[in-house]
């Protein structure tokens, strides 16, 4: 939450909902590779410090946002010591950046990861956003993977291969990381389509497939998992204690550990509660203008189709099919994985550029009201996928290539500087 002065001298309040407490792109690898967990969670201690004065007119609240309304948010508790006496905080502008929630392999807010190997254990993993809790979660996930002789990874889009640096996350990376750290394990990747990473060039698929074959990872393409066979209440186990699941084509697969990496779901529930018309029902994303301001979808414009097909339309017919213009919440912006942003891929660099547009537009609305706002246009899809601990394949500006200069911790420390923390050695990232 930040404050600033407008030309009239009035203080303006901007709230930012979200902002991940952590270096999210490294978490899938650190759920497999021990010894680096502490690098995942970055403190906000220095993020808003103003130069050498070490002061800021911003406040970081560790709280839960319960609701958003056009001019205020509701949080889980008051902070009277910070000048917030109640749970409602009025705002002039808001940036909704709550992202998406990950499926079970990386759901810090879900059940204890040890439940994977303890059927019937309903203990809920205690996670309140603390670094120590997140580190413990990753360490337990490592133990679960280490204790599983066979692993089935489901998904071959941008999650089961794994997100690398500031690009995307994929199940293939998850599979190749597991095989690199535990080469003795039998790892299988199941993907419903014939091509891995279908939004990218065929050359990406070819390189990933070749590497997986060299790693002896079994790849099953063009078959979708029958999700009914993942129902815990109808679990089927073979004589070896392995979980049995089935594809929609009837193929049975057995594994000690099942990792569902079938995509993320946007956290747009609060926007939907504020105004259901702001959410695209087909994907759960928030409608936005190119300025990144939240808007509502117009109804089906059947009148326009009629006008194209007919020589004339009576005034009566026109009035009965009047098209309502969408309503824009000019003070609420949505960025990142929650935004239905004109085909932009859900990735870190996408959220970054959308955030820049939103921030610049808020500054313009405060300091230069009436001036034309910036507009966002997605760039070409870009991705870098790790294939084990050092090799990677990338697609940038239509060019596909490979590199073998990766490091086990994915250069996690490089991101810390963006939060105002200088990292020269691993110890600088210790708790």
Provide DSSP, 84-113: B-SSEEE-SEEEEE--EE--GGG-TTSB-G
**Cα separation, 132 vs 136, whole angstroms:** 6
State whether 155 and 249 are in the same domain. yes
For residues 101, 106, 109 and 115, what is the CA-based torsion angle, rounded to 10 degrees? 140
**Cα separation, 265 vs 101, whole angstroms:** 6
Q: For residue 174, is it within any domain?
A: yes
Q: Phi first, then psi: give them for residue 252, nearest 5 degrees.
A: -95, 135
- Give me the helices (H) in 147-280, please: 171-181, 202-214, 269-274
**Cα separation, 60 vs 136, whole angstroms:** 24
Question: To the nearest 5 percent, what fractions of the chain are helix, strand and coil?
Answer: 30, 25, 45
Which DSSP letter does residue 411 get?
T
Residue 370: enclosing H or E segment and its boundaries? none
State whether 156 and 252 are in the same domain. yes
State whether 221 and 308 are in the same domain. no
Q: For residue 407, is it within any domain?
A: no
Q: What is the pLDDT of residue 347?
A: 82
Identify the residue whose tokens are 């002039």: 92
State whether 160 and 239 are in the same domain. yes
- Give me the helices (H) in 182-279, please: 202-214, 269-274
Q: What percent of the chain has pLDDT over 70?
A: 79
Q: For residue 36, is it within any domain?
A: yes
- Bridge partners of 363? none
List, edge to edge, every strand of the sheet that includes 88-90: 65-69, 72-75, 88-90
Q: For residue 118, is it within any domain?
A: yes
CA torsion sign for 192, 200, 180, 216 is positive
Q: For residue 423, is it within any domain?
A: no
Q: For residue 56, is it within any domain?
A: yes
Helix (H, G, I), strand (E, B) or coil at 45: coil
Three-point CA angle 375, 376, 382, nearest 5°: 160
Which DSSP letter does residue 134 get?
H
Q: For residue 414, is it within any domain?
A: no
Three-point CA angle 328, 334, 335, nearest 5°: 145
Q: What's the total number of domains in the chain?
A: 3
Q: What is the pLDDT of residue 109?
A: 58
Q: For residue 420, is it within any domain?
A: no
Task: Find, among 152, 117, 119, the residue nearest to 235 by Cα.
Answer: 119
State whether 111 and 207 are in the same domain. no
Q: What is the pLDDT of residue 111?
A: 56
Q: What is the pLDDT of residue 239?
A: 96
CA torsion sign for 325, 326, 329, 332 is negative
Question: Residue 87 has which token pair?
Answer: 């749970």
Report the CATH number at residue 249. Answer: 3.50.50.60
- Bridge partners of 295? 328
State whether 55 and 193 are in the same domain. no
Q: What is the pLDDT of residue 182?
A: 98
Judged by phi (left if over 0) then psi (alpha if -120 to 50, else beta), residue 93 lies in beta
Residue span of the structural domain in which 226 resides: 149-263+382-397
State whether 51 and 128 are in the same domain. no
State whether 244 and 390 are in the same domain. yes
State whether 157 and 253 are in the same domain. yes
State whether 254 and 156 are in the same domain. yes
Q: What is the pLDDT of residue 130?
A: 80
Q: Which residues of the chain have pLDDT under 70?
A: 1-9, 19-23, 50-55, 102-127, 157-170, 263, 298-325
State whether 328 and 357 are in the same domain. yes
List, edge to edge, every strand of the sheet that includes 328-334: 2-5, 11-18, 93-97, 328-334, 293-295
**Cα separation, 37 vs 108, whole angstroms:** 13
State whether 302 and 390 are in the same domain. no
Radius of gyration of the chain (CA): 24
């Amino acid at each position: 939450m930040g404050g600033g002065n407008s030309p009239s001298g009035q203080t303006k309040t901007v709230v930012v909902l979200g902002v991940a407490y952590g270096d999210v792109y490294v978490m899938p690898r650190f759920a497999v590779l021990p010894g680096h967990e502490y690098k995942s969670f970055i403190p906000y201690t220095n993020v808003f410090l103003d130069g050498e004065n070490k002061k800021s007119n911003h406040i970081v609240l560790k709280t839960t946002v319960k609701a958003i309304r056009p001019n205020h948010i509701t949080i889980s508790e008051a902070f009277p010591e910070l000048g917030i006496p109640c749970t409602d905080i009025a705002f002039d502008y808001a940036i909704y950046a709550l992202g998406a929630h990950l499926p079970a392999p990386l759901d810090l807010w879900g059940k204890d990861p040890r439940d994977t190997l303890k059927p019937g254990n309903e203990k809920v993993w205690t996670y309140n956003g603390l670094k120590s809790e997140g580190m413990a979660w990753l360490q337990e996930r490592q133990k679960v993977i280490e204790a599983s002789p066979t692993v089935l990874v489901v998904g071959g889009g941008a999650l089961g291969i794994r997100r690398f640096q500031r690009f995307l996350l994929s199940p293939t990376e998850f599979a190749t990381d597991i095989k690199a750290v535990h080469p003795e394990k039998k790892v299988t990747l199941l993907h419903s389509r014939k091509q891995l990473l279908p939004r990218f060039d065929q050359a990406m698929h070819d390189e990933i497939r070749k590497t997986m074959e060299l790693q002896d990872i079994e790849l099953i393409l063009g078959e979708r998992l029958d999700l009914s066979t993942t129902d815990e209440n109808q679990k089927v186990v073979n004589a070896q204690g392995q979980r049995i699941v089935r594809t929609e084509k009837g193929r049975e697969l057995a594994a000690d550990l099942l990792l569902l990496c079938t995509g993320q779901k946007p956290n747009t529930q609060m926007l939907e509660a504020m105004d259901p018309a702001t959410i695209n029902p087909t994907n759960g994303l928030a409608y936005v203008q190119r300025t990144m301001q939240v808007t509502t979808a117009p109804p089906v414009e059947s009148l326009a189709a009629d006008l194209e097909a007919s020589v004339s339309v009576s005034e009566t017919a026109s009035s009965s099919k009047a098209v309502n213009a969408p309503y824009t919440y000019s003070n609420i912006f949505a960025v990142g994985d929650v935004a239905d942003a004109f085909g932009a891929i859900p990735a870190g660099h996408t959220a970054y550029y959308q955030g820049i547009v939103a921030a610049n537009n808020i500054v313009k609305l405060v300091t230069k009201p009436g001036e034309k706002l910036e507009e966002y246009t997605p760039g070409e899809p870009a991705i870098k996928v790790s294939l084990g601990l050092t090799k990677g394949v990338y697609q940038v500006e239509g060019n596909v290539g490979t590199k073998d200069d990766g490091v086990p911790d994915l250069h996690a420390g490089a991101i810390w500087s963006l939060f105002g923390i200088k990292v020269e050695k691993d110890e600088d990232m210790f708790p």
